[in-house]
Amino acid sequence: MSFSASSLSEDEFFYGHKACAGCGGSLAVRIALKVLGEKTVAVLPAGCMSAVGFNFPQLCFANNAIISTFAGTASMMTGIEAGLRARGIADYKVVGFAGDGGTADIGIQALSGAIDRGDDIIYICYDNEAYMNTGTQKSSLTPFGARTTTTPVKGNRRDKKDMFEIVAAHGIPYAATASVGYLNDYMRKVAKAAEVKGTKYIHVIAPCPTGWGAGSDETIELAKEAVDCGLWPLAEYENGEFSLSMRMKDPSLLDSHIRRQGRFKHLTSEGLEHIRELRDRRWDRIDKKWNVDQGRRTR
Amino acid sequence: MRPRLVEPPRFASPDDYPEGTSFEAGHLVTVNSGWRRVRPKIDGGKCTGCLQCYLYCPDGTMIKSGKSVTVDYDFCKGCGICARMCRAGAISMAEERA
Amino acid sequence: MTREFISGNDALAHGVRLASPKVISAYPITPQTTVVERLSEMAEDGSLDAEFIHVESEHSALSCAIGASAAGVRTFTATSSQGLLYMAECLPYAAGGRFPIVMMNANRSIALPWNIYGDQRDSLMLLDSGWIQAYVQDAQEGLDLALMSYRIAEHPEVSTPFMINMDGFHLTHTYEVVDVPDKESADRLIPPFRPVGCIDPGSPQNIGFSAGPEHNVFFKYKAHCGMLRARDVIKETEQAFSRIFGREYSGLTEGYRCEDADHVLITLGSISGLCRGAADAARAEGIRAGVLRIRYMRPFPAEETVAAVSGAKSIAVLEKDISFGGTGTVFANVGSALFSAGLNMRASNYIGGLGGRDISIGDVRKIFSDMAAGKTGVRFIGIEEGPE
């Protein structure tokens, strides 16, 4: 099924929350739930989306939703899925929304366990590239060069962990990367995940204007540019094959994309060059390993 | 279907509270309008009904209304994404009057 | 009913089977392992209609059980020692959310130094986590409590998770003759699970929320009240159990020759039988000795303890636990109950069995003679000099 602005359900399942204005993560949650519909149990660990959505008596999910332990998003999803099945409730989906820290750091063990078991769940990582809920500390998905409150002087010295390939290495039935800058693509992937049996993983880049040092109205442009300049390739992994969803549009956009963000203000030209090298090396690997037919990059 | 704004229930004694940490879904007792410094204004004449503002609003406060949209000013935070997404230039951000 | 010669862990697994949980999530750790081996066998051979989930850690074991409980089904998990501590974050989570999960903990020493043998520092360290904590003394009680625990935990007035503690190896791996009830009788004891506030297709719920300073205390207060109400539900459940199975249990504590005792030794778990033997021996020597076995550490049997020892000249607490720089946790709880009731007898605390070290009947007789001689303080069995 294809989704667009006009065909998308008018139901709002994540509403009235206290996320910062322009929050990319809340958009990722909102749109996924609109695609999945009311027969969905949302599971959210500690993090921005649970903090802004579940403050009794202000409860912002219209569907069944629960906060999980921070490290236990995937395992709580497993329990819910098994429990609903035991009750004979067969037409519900269980979706998790965990941040980059909740996924790639503290929650990676439980996620790996769920994929290993093949649990029938949809795990969505909304990646804003740092621990934003606690005020922008480095996670293992913080990109090279980004300043956080725990990499306050030089910026982060490490590249982002590649969660997409880590998850794919488990032999997961379906995994995808997405961006809140390309919602039609994201919606298609969420809808596809809902059709696949077994564990599904979607990693959606979701800019945080507060933590990235950008205006609240820049979220979507930043998320689009990250894809367009090749920093965040949109792809899928299915039946053991990688495929690109969209080609890199304009590699030269990289400089302006980085320079407009406050978190990279301090970055030297060598730092910027290193980011370019990391990107290009990644694309070299993509060229060698992935099926790039349907989305050959321009260079 | 969407979370509803309700009269805040009275929570004065233990009996007013649920037994565990489980409560009616989509139960809103406060609005977000006080966060706003600017508010989106829609020029109906320019609006082409492309719905990109509705799609990309992080708060879901652009409500589909026929071929156009209306804004739920109770929950709009004035982030300005709708104005940036509008292909027709039909949305402008206006200063919020105190 | 059948009569079988089985280990404590096997007995407990039978009790769980008879309660028919739908989701079991567990991670292996000595000496709990054979419980989950039995249950996974039962789930595979169809004698138990449950899904056994092979989680990758204890933290996930309990997170998964919370999820299943939130989805509205009966759950079970089991752990021990480091595993219990690894899942520690999830314990108050389950309690605060009022998820009536049942967990077996095979009491085992805590590292460092590493040791797989039994003591009770693991569960007593987590006494404040909001779980009902029961300590059993033999395999039969383990099985019976596995059954009763579900009725108690799931009672709407209680709705609190339940931890059944069995001394590692002394109980978990010791073979005894055990009466294994039939399923029909078990079903008469345990009504179907009717969860409150769970994931509900008809009336969606937001679960596990935050509550700010204005509201938070009310949830904590209500969890406390639920635990207190468990006192009556435990008694009522034991009465129902006795009507069906003919075996009697005595509530939060079990007294032995306390009525006229001058010196009451308070203890818990598998050591209790040996203590009763030592009390008999002490009485033969002219010391009027009694033993009070604590069956439940939470809810704490304050009234029962006060009633059992109010006529005594001295009490001692023997426990497999020490809070370094303080006393044993059981002693601290007993002392608080006695002080609050205005009792002011001599009191001493004996720390024994750490890391699985044997406590002999001679050790316990020595405790009674110490009490008769008016000794007080915190002493480690097997170490002559008292701590500085």
Q: Say yes or no for a CB contact (<8 Å) between C215 and B19.
A: no
Q: How far is CA B18 from the centre of its chain?
A: 28
Find the Cα–Cα–Cα–Cα dihedral B77, B78, B82, B88, rounded to 10°: 150
Q: Residue C59 above 80 pLDDT?
A: yes
Tell me the whole-structure pTM to 2 decimals.
0.97
Taking only the tens place, the pLDDT of each residue in C283-311 is 999 999 999 999 999 999 999 999 999 99
- Decide: helix, strand or coil at residue B12: coil
- Which helix (H) or strand (E) segment holds residue C379: the answer is strand C377-380
C154-171 pLDDT tens trace: 999 999 999 999 999 999
Q: What is the pLDDT of residue A299?
A: 39
CA pair distance C178, C5, nearest whole angstrom: 6
ipTM above 0.85, yes or no: yes
- Across the interface, of B14, B19, B23, the residue whose CB is closest to C209 is B23
Chain C within 8 Å of A121 (Cβ-Cβ)?
A: no
For chain B, which residues make up each domain, given as ranges?
4-95
Task: Give the span between the Cα atoms of C79 and C97, in whole angstroms.
Answer: 20
Question: How far is C84 from C122, CA to CA, in rounded Å?
Answer: 7
What is the CATH code for B4-95?
A: 3.30.70.20
The answer to whether C317 touches C328, Cβ cutoff 8 Å, is yes
Q: Cα separation of C109 and C320, whole Å?
A: 9
- For A75, which of C63, C200, C208 is closest by C-beta distance? C63
Q: Point out the residue among A50, A59, A80 whose CB comes nearest to the CB of C67.
A: A80
CB of A295 within 8 A of CB of A245?
yes
pLDDT of A293 above 90: no
> In order of start, what are the domains of chain A with their CATH numbers?
24-295 (3.40.50.970)
Q: Quote the percentage of chain A above a pLDDT of 70.
A: 97
By the 10 Å C-beta count (0-12 exposed, 13-18 middle, 19+ buried), B1 is classed as middle
Q: What is the pLDDT of residues C343-384, one digit of tens each?
A: 999 999 999 999 999 999 999 999 999 999 999 999 999 998
Question: What's the angle, vertex CA C233, arms to CA C18 and CA C218, rounded to 5?
Answer: 115
pLDDT for residue A1:
60
Among A55, A66, A67, A89, pick the best mutation site for testing chain C contact (most C Cβ within 10 A).
A66
- Top pLDDT among B39 and A4 is at B39
What tens digit of pLDDT does each residue of B42-92 get?
Answer: 999 999 999 999 999 999 999 988 788 999 999 999 999 999 999 999 999
CB C292 within 8 A of CB C314: no
Q: How far is A69 from chain B (nearest CA, A)?
A: 14
Domains and CATH numbers, chain C: 2-245 (3.40.50.970), 253-380 (3.40.50.920)
Average pLDDT, chain C: 97
Given a cut of 50, whether residue A296 has pLDDT beyond it is no
Contact B26 A15 (CB under 8 A): yes
